[in-house]
């Protein structure tokens, strides 16, 4: 009869990725009651992986009911569930023995359970006399052979299915059931991609990961340098797809090679798929030693140099060399790049490379991985070219760091220096929002490759002097009478070697019984990957270490052994790890160091060692079994050494087994696979659909790729074509930044925030607006956030212009298309009653926050109050803005106000008032009083103007290329006729034609507008072009009129142009006359308008009552006239069109219906 409890040993074959552990979870309380994190963890080691087993037997109730269970993958670092195994239903085991073992293969569907014999899975019954308490593989292997190893799972990102799942269904017998993998894939994986044979990867690093030597006959001998993280270590990736390595051969950096040697070296590297980048020795030394090692490397490790040599800290020549090296790498990438390649850039030597690549390959998927720490924002801002470096990094699609701590510092710098926000996104990523472009950030620690390390392992009990060391003192320390502590480190100050020697000295002083029983062996490495540090720092550290060693050895002879070697191979390291019972790594600041991982792997089983790690080591966050200590505290470090020396065998083995799981599962190959898959997925999402990234800005600090949607440059020819064919036109133009340039930030913002409000418009701009307002087909409104008094001061002399002040709270209507009057000219309020009792209370609150936030100030803008914190610390300002908004929302409840938080400001304004509301209101007004609109032009430059664009898009719909969105007009417009008043839902112009809508933002940036113009000067050029095609009421154009328009007007913005002359044939019967265009405009927009004006003038296009000879219909344009319009983009072709028109009448007069 079975016992009351059954002791069950679970064994499963499971292939895992970085940071993953296998848990068994089931319905029994001993299995966590279906709570994954309360389940039983399984263990593995380097010898038995991928076989996982429970450390000890699990006690389960032995009754007639079967026990249901399932395996789950858990992220050990985050403590979160990653994925349940992909089988239908649950596994079932019948417990009918005192002790038994259960063997499974993860993700393999088990056979249907049979009631007799008990147990639906492959299992064995173990006699009670067999000891199953040990964790060694030999005990369990005596029971039955393990299932055959299955192929590893596809290369899917570890971040693709991060989720914490509970129970979603209940079986008929009441047992919980876990969702199947099919549901998981659909719900959590989304569009995560996999690597396949069609993919190609380009690994770009400063040094090629190869050893290069010359043979006796002068031929090049090439071998992989397995100490390099990016070296080829596993054939799983390289055999499945094309992989190229791009970098400098290290021999080229030490000696100048002739062209013949370079060619021979390139040929020798070709079988290794390595593409060399040849740099001159001077360029390399200036870039690497003068900038990278002397400036960037200390700064990235949070070290700032001050003193007399500060002027030499960041030499300009070294920065020019750095940019030249990055440009040389980009040229080489261009040579070998093929469409669809994934480009993986490594480390701080090539931070500008993503920018150089994207200048030429806008759709390339570029990833960047930084193998150093990232400094805090206070330290990073000391770099003179900080913006250039940040922008270079942000031009990558995916940025990787070894630790979240480093990623957090990077995100903080983006926030404080560039004002870019970040957020968590599904899949375990962090995302930096750069306007409409998203840059993904991941934290993933690299590992080692056990297949590379295993051939060099040394038996612990047969440890001897490592090959090539040849130190007599080291041989004396290996006599077997001493316990060895120590480590292997580059001879650099940031490695903290001095700190651990001082702690060891204190150990011998405070614990004298250890004298003669322990020895400290420290291996000092001069260089890693052939690039040593500057000699001054290394020599100073060596001198300090020798002084400490001599002092300790005088008291306890032979207690400290310093071994100085230029480089250290894998075989030498394995020999050292076999010697050391305690390995101590005391780095002060560190990017990545795989030596602790090697030590864990080298000493497994009964000979497990103890790792003492500094809290500032990168491995301290992944090796949970190590003794972590603050190395700045000598007492704490000494205590950790003493604990490691006196630790019991059971604890020592347990700690090593805990860390071994990470080491064997998080290999270098799996780390690379995760990055490749994530880069492919992120790149596919970035370039999916029509929303392609667009490059904007100039220089290294300004150039960047942003998401621009379907935006394109506004073509004046399209606007003019629609303008001439329409008769109900609405023009909405912002003021500051659109009609006139925005001034620089005033010195006293509270007194004079908008200085352009206190000066008059340039004469040419004033005249242009006046002419547009005189056209009876036009409705022109200037929309601004300033007060009514400011707008009256500047625009009060323009008859017929409509004005909207304070973002549309107050407005007055000028002339309306089709009406002979110029409007009443009185101001109205868009909301019936405006209660401003809230302003005093809101102002008092905002002033309080302004006093508490250095660099912020309060601005009153008529009906609104704005708190600006652009000049304050953006991170602190954002926190204050969030708190202020909650404070205002609570205190202003019941008042008709809204609180809006923008980038660098908080605005409190009347609810239901913005530029979009006033624009929509005026379109309704035109529908009611002018028969609708068939042409809309809306131009603005800032975030407030986005409301106008959004309102017009919502009302008329469409985008570039559609009638309502400002695309090319339909080929035929019916003749216009008089309309009754339209309701608010009318979206068409006269005659049922779709309105032509052109929304443009000033500046090339993401926007709700489908078009952009470069600056305010192009806005004026566009309006001047429209003015040339406008019809002034109650007069015919003559040559005298045209000369008067361009006569004495000063040049606005570009004084070096005296004007333009356009040939206007057939004007008022003149044979061949010349009309001077106003010199106030220049550029392609203005020249295209002049060309179009000259071509159409003969048919009355510039004169004629109520339409000047054509009414806007296709049938009313000049007859038999060839006309050409030059496209505004540089190098664009000239489009010639031959249109056959029918003139309305001999005098060029239109009918009243043409209005």
Report the C-alpha gap between 42 and 123 in whole angstroms: 17
Please state, in angstroms and rounded to a whole number, the distance separating the CA atoms of residues 91 and 502: 56
CB 585 within 8 A of CB 564: no
**pLDDT: is 82 or 1031 the higher one?**
82
Is 90 exceeded by the pLDDT of residue 347? yes
Has residue 532 got a pLDDT over 70? no
**Which one, of 1062, 1058, 997, lies nearest residue 1028 by Cα?**
1062
Residues 395-409, mean pLDDT to the nearest whole number: 92
912 pLDDT higher than 80: yes
Summarised one tens digit per residue, pLDDT across range 87-99 is: 888 898 888 778 8
Strands of 605-711 (E only): list them. 610-614, 627-629, 693-696, 704-707
CA 712, 714, 718, 723: dihedral to nearest 10 degrees? 140
Q: Name the band, by pLDDT with cuts 50, 70 and 90, for residue 429.
A: confident
154 has a pLDDT exceeding 50: no
Dihedral pair phi/psi, residue 246, rounded to 5°: -120, 130
What pLDDT digit, counting tens, does each position of 766-804 carry?
889 989 988 889 999 999 888 888 888 888 888 889 999
Residue 949 reports pLDDT greater than 60: yes
- Calpha distance 132→147 (Å, rounded): 19
Tell me the DSSP string of 1035-1049: ----HHHHHHHHSSP
Separation between Cα atoms, residue 615 and residue 496, nearest integer Å: 12
Assign 227 a pLDDT band (cuts: 50, 70, 90).
confident
d(CA 920, CA 950): 10
**pLDDT of the residue at 1070:** 33
| pLDDT for position 973 | 33
Q: Give the helix/strand (H/E) hosting 370.
A: strand 365-370
List of residues 6+ apart from 1060 with CB closer than 8 A: 1076, 1077, 1079, 1082, 1086, 1087, 1090
Which pLDDT does position 646 carry in this prediction?
A: 93
Query: Which residues, including other chains, have CB under 8 Å from residue 338's CB and lie 6 or more apart?
Result: 200
Task: Please state, for a pLDDT cut of 70, what percent of the chain lies above it.
Answer: 70
Question: Is the previous residue joined to 117 through a cis bond, with omega within 30 degrees of 0?
Answer: yes
- Give the per-residue pLDDT at 943: 82
Name the average pLDDT for the chain: 75
- Euclidean distance between CA atoms 330 and 956, whole angstroms: 45
Q: Is the pLDDT of residue 1060 over 60?
A: no
Q: How far is CA 1096 from CA 1029, 1073, 1103, 1115, 1128, in A?
A: 9, 14, 10, 14, 19
Higher pLDDT, 538 or 1078: 538
Q: What is the pLDDT of residues 585-637, one digit of tens each?
A: 999 988 889 999 999 999 877 788 999 999 999 888 899 899 999 999 999 99
User: Can you give the pLDDT at residue 456?
Assistant: 87
360 contacts 354 by C-beta, under 8 angstroms: no
Write down the pLDDT at residue 398.
93
pTM of the model: 0.63
Question: 309: Cβ–Cβ under 8 A, 6 or more apart, which residues?
Answer: none
- The b/e string for 611-650 (b: 16+ C-beta within 10 A; e otherwise) is bbbbebbbbbbbbebbbbbebeebebbbbbbeebbebeee
In DSSP terms, 25 is beta-bridged to: 70
Average pLDDT for 675-680 = 89
For range 514-531, the mean pLDDT? 83
Kindly tell me if the per-residue pLDDT of 945 is higher than 60.
Answer: yes
Report the chain's C-alpha Rg in angstroms. 38
Check: CB of residue 654 under 8 Å from CB of residue 134. Answer: no
At 959, the pLDDT band (50, 70, 90 cuts) reads: low
Q: How far apart are CA 1038 and CA 321, in angstroms?
A: 63
Phi, psi (rounded to 5 degrees) for 271: -65, -20
Angle at 548 between CA 544 and CA 553, to 5 degrees: 145
Rounded to 5°, the CA angle 224-228-230 comes to 90
Least confident of 167-176, 670-679, 817-826, 1043-1052: 167-176
Distance CA 1017, CA 1012 (A): 13
Query: What's the pLDDT at 897?
Result: 87
Q: Which helix (H) or strand (E) holds 53?
A: strand 51-54
pLDDT of residue 794: 87
pLDDT tens by residue, 11-25: 999 988 877 889 999
Place 687 in a pLDDT band, splitting at 50, 70 and 90.
Answer: low
pLDDT band for 979, please (50, 70, 90 cuts). very low
**Residue 345: both structure tokens together:** 């850039």
Model confidence band, residue 469 (pLDDT cutoffs 50, 70, 90): confident
Is the pLDDT at 896 greater than 80? The verdict is yes
Over range 294-320, report the average pLDDT.
78
| pLDDT-based confidence at residue 972 (cuts at 50, 70, 90) | very low
Q: Where are the beta strands (DSSP E) in 834-945?
A: 857-861, 864-868, 897-902, 905-910, 935-940
pLDDT of residue 1105: 31
Where are the strands (E) in 621-763, listed by range?
Answer: 627-629, 693-696, 704-707, 712-713, 729-734
Report CA-CA distances (Å) from 1122 to 248, 626, 827, 1118: 60, 84, 47, 9
Mean pLDDT of 694-719: 69
Task: Count the Cβ atoms, other than its own, within 10 Å of residue 1074.
Answer: 14
So what's the pLDDT on residue 116?
43
For residue 974, pLDDT over 50 is answered with: no
What per-residue confidence (pLDDT) applies to 533?
56
pLDDT of residue 252: 65
- Cα separation values, 1118 from 60, 203, 319, 758, 1035, Å: 95, 63, 62, 45, 19
Which range is least confidently modeled, 201-215, 1000-1014, 1116-1130? 1116-1130
Cα 881 to Cα 899: distance, rounded to the nearest angstrom: 10
| Confidence band, pLDDT 50/70/90 cuts, at residue 59 | confident
In the structure, what pLDDT confidence band is assigned to residue 1006 with cuts at 50, 70 and 90? Answer: confident
d(CA 200, CA 180): 33
* 557-574 average pLDDT score: 89
Return left, alpha or beta for 1043; rule: phi > 0 is left, psi -120 to 50 is alpha, else beta: alpha
Q: List, for residues 812-868, the tens digit of each pLDDT value.
A: 998 888 765 555 568 888 887 777 788 888 889 999 898 988 888 998 877 888 898
**CA 11 – CA 135 distance, rounded (Å):** 12
Mean pLDDT of 564-579: 88
Least confident of 193-197, 212-216, 390-394, 492-496: 193-197
pLDDT in tens, 264-283: 999 999 999 999 999 988 89
The 3-class secondary structure across 160-199, one letter per residue, is CCCCCCCCCEECCCCCEECCCHHHHHHHHHCCCCECCCCC
Beta bridge partners of 582: 485, 610
Which residue would you say has higher pLDDT here, 233 or 1066?
Answer: 233
Contact 823, 840 (CB under 8 A): no
Range scoring the smallest mean pLDDT among 149-153, 616-620, 914-918: 149-153
Is pLDDT larger for residue 202 or for residue 901?
Answer: 202
Distance CA 806, CA 829 (A): 10
Q: What is the mean pLDDT of residues 955-968?
A: 54
The span from the first CA to the last CA of the chain, in angstroms, equals 103
Strand, helix or coil at 437?
strand
**CB-count burial class (<10 Å; 0-12, 13-18, 19+) for 1071:** exposed
- pLDDT tens for 1120-1151 read 333 333 333 333 333 333 333 333 333 333 33
Mean pLDDT over 928-951 rounds to 89
Is it the case that residue 158 has pLDDT exceeding 50? no
User: Does the pLDDT value for residue 1068 go beyond 60?
Assistant: no
The residues pairing with 8 across neighbouring beta strands, listed in sequence order, are: 58, 100
For the segment 657-678, the average pLDDT, to the nearest whole number, is 88
């Amino acid at each position: 009869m079975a016992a009351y409890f059954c002791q069950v040993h679970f064994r499963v074959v499971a292939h895992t990725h970085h940071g993953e552990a296998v848990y068994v979870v089931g319905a029994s309380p001993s299995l966590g009651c279906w709570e994954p994190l309360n389940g039983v963890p399984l263990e593995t080691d380097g010898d038995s992986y991928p076989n996982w087993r429970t450390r000890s037997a699990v006690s389960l109730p032995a009754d007639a009911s079967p026990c249901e269970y399932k395996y789950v993958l858990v992220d050990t670092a985050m403590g979160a569930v990653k994925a349940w195994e992909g089988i239908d239903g649950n596994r079932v085991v019948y417990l009918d023995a005192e002790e038994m073992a259960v063997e499974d293969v993860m993700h393999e569907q088990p056979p249907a359970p049979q009631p007799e014999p008990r147990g639906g899975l492959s299992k064995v019954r173990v006699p009670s006399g067999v000891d199953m308490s040990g964790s060694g593989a030999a005990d369990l292997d005596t029971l039955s052979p393990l299932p055959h190893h299955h192929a590893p799972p596809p290369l899917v990102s570890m971040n693709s299915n991060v989720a914490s799942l509970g129970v979603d269904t209940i079986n008929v017998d009441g047992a919980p059931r876990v969702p199947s993998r099919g549901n998981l894939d659909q719900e959590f994986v989304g569009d995560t991609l996999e690597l396949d044979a069609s993919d190609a990867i380009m690994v770009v690093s400063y040094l090629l990961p190869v050893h290069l030597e010359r043979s006796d006959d002068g031929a090049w001998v090439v071998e992989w340098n397995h100490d390099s993280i990016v070296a080829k270590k596993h054939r799983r990736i390289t055999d499945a797809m094309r992989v190229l390595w791009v970098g400098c051969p290290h021999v080229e950096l030490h000696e100048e090679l002739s062209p013949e040697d370079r060619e021979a070296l390139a040929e020798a590297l070709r079988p290794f798929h390595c593409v060399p980048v040849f740099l001159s020795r001077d360029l390399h030394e200036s870039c690497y030693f003068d900038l990278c090692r002397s400036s960037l490397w200390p700064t990235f490790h949070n070290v700032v140099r001050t003193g007399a040599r500060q002027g030499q800290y960041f030499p300009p020549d070294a920065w020019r060399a750095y940019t030249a090296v990055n440009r040389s790498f980009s040229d080489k990438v261009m040579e070998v790049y093929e469409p669809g390649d994934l480009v993986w850039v490594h480390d701080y030597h090539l931070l500008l490379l993503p920018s150089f690549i994207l200048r030429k390959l806008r759709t390339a998927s570029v990833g960047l991985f930084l193998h150093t720490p990232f400094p805090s924002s206070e330290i990073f801002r000391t770099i003179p070219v900080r913006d250039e470096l940040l922008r270079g990094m942000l031009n990558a699609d995916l940025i990787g760091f070894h630790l979240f701590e480093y990623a957090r510092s990077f995100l903080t710098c983006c926030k404080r220096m560039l004002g870019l926000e970040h957020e968590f996104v599904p899949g375990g990523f962090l995302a930096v929002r750069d306007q409409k472009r998203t840059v993904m950030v991941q934290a993933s620690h690299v590992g080692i490759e056990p297949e590379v390390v295993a051939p060099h392992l040394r038996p612990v009990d047969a440890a001897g002097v490592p090959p090539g060391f040849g130190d007599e003192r080291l041989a004396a320390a290996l006599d077997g009478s001493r316990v060895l502590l120590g480590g292997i480190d580059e001879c650099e100050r940031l490695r903290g070697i001095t700190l651990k020697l001082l702690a060891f000295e204190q150990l011998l002083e405070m614990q004298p019984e250890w004298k003669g029983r322990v020895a400290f062996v420290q291996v000092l490495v001069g260089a890693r990957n052939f690039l040593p540090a500057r000699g001054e720092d290394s020599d100073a550290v060596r001198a300090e270490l020798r002084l400490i060693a001599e002092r300790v050895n005088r008291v306890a002879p032979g207690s400290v052994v310093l071994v100085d070697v230029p480089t250290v191979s894998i075989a030498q390291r394995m020999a050292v790890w076999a010697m050391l019972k305690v390995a101590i790594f005391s780095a002060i600041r560190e990017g990545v160091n795989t030596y602790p991982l090697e030590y864990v792997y080298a000493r497994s089983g009964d000979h497990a060692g103890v790792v003492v790690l500094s809290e500032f080591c990168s491995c301290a966050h992944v090796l949970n079994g190590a003794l972590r200590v603050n190395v700045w505290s000598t007492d704490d470090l000494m205590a950790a050494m003493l604990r490691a020396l006196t630790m019991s065998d059971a604890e020592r083995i347990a700690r090593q087994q805990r860390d071994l799981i990470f080491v064997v599962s998080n290999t270098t190959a799996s780390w690379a696979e995760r990055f490749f898959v994530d880069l492919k997925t992120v790149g596919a999402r970035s370039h999916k659909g029509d929303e392609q990234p667009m490059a904007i800005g100039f220089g290294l600090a300004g150039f960047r790729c942003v998401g621009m949607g379907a935006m394109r440059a506004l073509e004046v020819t399209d606007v003019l074509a629609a303008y001439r064919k329409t008769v109900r036109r609405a023009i909405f133009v912002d003021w500051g930044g659109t009609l006139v340039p925005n001034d620089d930030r005033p010195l006293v913002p509270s007194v004079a925030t908008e200085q352009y409000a206190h000066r008059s418009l340039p004469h040419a701009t004033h005249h242009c607006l006046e002419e547009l307002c005189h056209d009876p087909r036009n409705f022109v409104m200037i929309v601004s956030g300033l007060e009514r008094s400011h707008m009256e001061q500047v625009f009060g002399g323009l008859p017929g212009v409509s004005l909207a002040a304070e973002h549309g709270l107050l407005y007055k209507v000028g002339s309306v298309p089709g009406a002979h009057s110029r409007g009443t000219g009185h101001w109205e309020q868009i909301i019936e009653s405006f209660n401003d009792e809230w302003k005093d209370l809101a102002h008092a609150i905002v002033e309080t926050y302004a006093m508490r936030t250095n660099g912020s100030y309060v601005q009153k803008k008529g009906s609104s109050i704005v708190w600006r914190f652009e000049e304050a610390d953006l991170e602190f300002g954002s926190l204050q803005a969030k708190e202020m908004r909650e404070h205002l929302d609570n205190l202003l409840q019941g008042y008709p106000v809204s609180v809006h938080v923008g980038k660098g400001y908080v605005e409190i304004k009347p609810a239901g008032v913005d530029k979009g509301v006033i624009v929509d209101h005026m379109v309704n007004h035109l529908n009611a009083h002018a028969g609708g609109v068939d042409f809309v032009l809306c131009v603005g430059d800032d975030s407030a103007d986005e409301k106008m664009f959004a309102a017009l898009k919502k009302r008329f719909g469409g985008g570039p290329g559609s009638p309502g969105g400002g695309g090319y007009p339909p080929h035929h417009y019916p003749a216009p006729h008089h309309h009754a008043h339209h309701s608010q839902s009318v979206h068409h112009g006269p005659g049922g034609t779709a309105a032509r809508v052109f929304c443009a933002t000033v500046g090339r940036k993401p926007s709700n507008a489908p078009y952009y113009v470069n600056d305010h000067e192009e806005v004026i050029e566009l309006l001047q072009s429209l003015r040339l095609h406008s019809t002034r009421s109650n007069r015919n154009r003559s040559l005298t009129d045209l000369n008067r328009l361009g006569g004495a007007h000063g040049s606005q913005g570009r004084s070096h142009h005296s004007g333009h002359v356009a040939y206007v044939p057939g004007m008022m019967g003149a044979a061949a006359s010349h009309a001077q265009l106003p010199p106030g405009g220049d550029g392609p927009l203005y020249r295209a308008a002049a060309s179009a004006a000259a071509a159409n003038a003969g048919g009355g296009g510039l004169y004629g009552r109520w339409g000047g000879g054509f009414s806007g219909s296709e049938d009313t344009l000049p007859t038999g006239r060839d006309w050409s319009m030059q496209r505004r983009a540089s190098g664009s072709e000239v489009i010639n069109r031959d249109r056959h028109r029918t003139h309305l009448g001999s005098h060029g007069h239109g009918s009243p219906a043409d209005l």
